[in-house]
Amino acid sequence: MITEILIIDDNADIRNIINDLIIDAGYKTRLAANYNQALAEIDKKLPDVAIIDVKLDKSDNDGLELLSHIKTKNKDIPVIIITGHANVEMAVKALKSGAFEFIEKPFNQERLLNFINRAVENINLKNQNKDFEDKLFYSYEIIGNSPNIDKINNQINKISLSESRIFINGPIGSGKELVARKIHKKSNRYSGPFVVLNGALLDDEKYELELFGQEKKNGVILYGALEKATAGILLIDEISEIPLETQSKILRVLIDQKFKRIDGNHDIKVNVRIICSSSKDIKKEIILGNFREDLYHRLNVFEINLEPLKNRASDIPLLIQYFSNKIALNYNLKKLQIDINDSYLLTYDWPGNVRELRNLIERIAILSPDTNEKISNIIKESLKKPDDTTSKNINPLSVPLKEARENFEKEYLTTQLKKFNGNISKTANFIGMERSALHRKLKGLGIKELN
């Protein structure tokens, strides 16, 4: 794709000089002669690079206003500021506002072309990195054969092609965003944007700005998530963190299918599919008065529930294999040799869920241990709790034979039960014990059977 550069200057001679320079360098151009033309061109389609004169026809610094406008739409776009009225204060202001470079008139054409080439390299590199990150995220699959994962995969296949709203429940790190992205990938909106608004990361006063955008007095428009996600999907992550006042406005949008920007006068129609997620018990939040029940019912047309990893231990070996292969490929390393039946991995509580497991595999890949013992040490050190005084750390030679046997049986049977999701028949068959005998053994050892 040929890079497109927007030239904004009220001097026709300067515009033509820059235009010829850029076309000769093999780039496409668009031209704007004043502030309103520039605003229309920017809103019609964002350029790859912009060259803006500071002083146009509206005010002494309207070029800087256009710089700000571009940055609110896409902060990565390089903007080269040119001016015939330069001073140190203006240069500092432009660079602080996000200008890629600042050049004075009359300018050296070779120097300007050098700036342009560097700007093009910069945006191409950022786009490549973004494409890589998106492909990497989309390349990850929802891995597991537990009943919970099987159910979720079936739900995704059934609800992706609808336009219904979805509410995803699950603890932190369990894969809620991945589920939402898989729905986007399989939906009719796949060619549209996938926008994430994280309710847990915003200041209280910024929720409505981030959602609805704003119309400033100088004509600059700040676009919110609802507009950025037009024709696509908006994931509102940790929606339970959004204040009640903003919740009521979201409810109004869902009912009316339109909204106004902050300080705006015109209605904007909504063309977005909304997916919400929460790591909190949303029904408990409703009882506590922290979340609107009417909004919940509007959002929760379909519900997806992700269980914590500790409840689906049979998925852990599959996840270890999957991440080992994936991360080794990404880092161009040889396949990691991690024992997928390591009892330490299967019995650990995984408070960080799948994300914590993936981070552990990545840590092992980066450290590149060359023996199984070193891998095991990294795992135990990474997952060790500050108050870890479990029987695993007790020397079996320091206790009587009966106690040592019971400790081993308890750890062994707990691990096998988790591996088979609490299925007594499968566990009994694997360990070579009658089903009724296994029930008695579990009761005798005080092991609670999983539901």
pLDDT digits (tens, 9 = 90+) for 244-271: 999 999 999 999 999 999 999 889 999 9
Question: Residue 85 pLDDT more than 90?
Answer: no
CATH class of 148-307: alpha beta
| pLDDT for residue 432 | 80
| pLDDT for residue 418 | 79
Query: Is 165 buried (19+), middle (13-18) or exposed (0-12) by CB count in 10 A?
Result: middle
CATH class of 310-383: mainly alpha
Q: Please, which residues have CB within 8 angstroms of residue 426's CB and are 6 or more apart in sequence?
A: 420
User: Whole-prediction pTM value?
Assistant: 0.62
- Residues of the chain within CATH 3.40.50.2300 domain(s) are 4-134
Paired sense of beta strands 221-222 and 214-215, if any: antiparallel
Spatial CA neighbour of 346 closest among 290, 272, 286, 420:
420
**What does the mean pLDDT of the chain come to?**
86
Do 259 and 226 touch, CB atoms closer than 8 A? yes
Residue 14's pLDDT band (cuts 50, 70, 90): very high
- Residues of the chain within CATH 3.40.50.300 domain(s) are 148-307
pLDDT digits (tens, 9 = 90+) for 31-43: 999 999 998 899 8
Question: Residue 131 pLDDT more than 70?
Answer: no
| pLDDT for residue 265 | 87
Give the residue with greater pLDDT, 367 vs 181: 181
Tokens of 214: 């704003």
Residue type, 154: N
Calculate mean pLDDT across residues 363-385.
83
| pLDDT for residue 400 | 62
Do 353 and 308 touch, CB atoms closer than 8 A? yes
- Tell the CATH topology of 391-445: Arc Repressor Mutant, subunit A (1.10.10)
Q: Please, which residues have CB within 8 angstroms of residue 207's CB and are 6 or more apart in sequence?
A: 199, 242, 243, 246
CATH class of 4-134: alpha beta
- Residues of the chain within CATH 1.10.10.60 domain(s) are 391-445
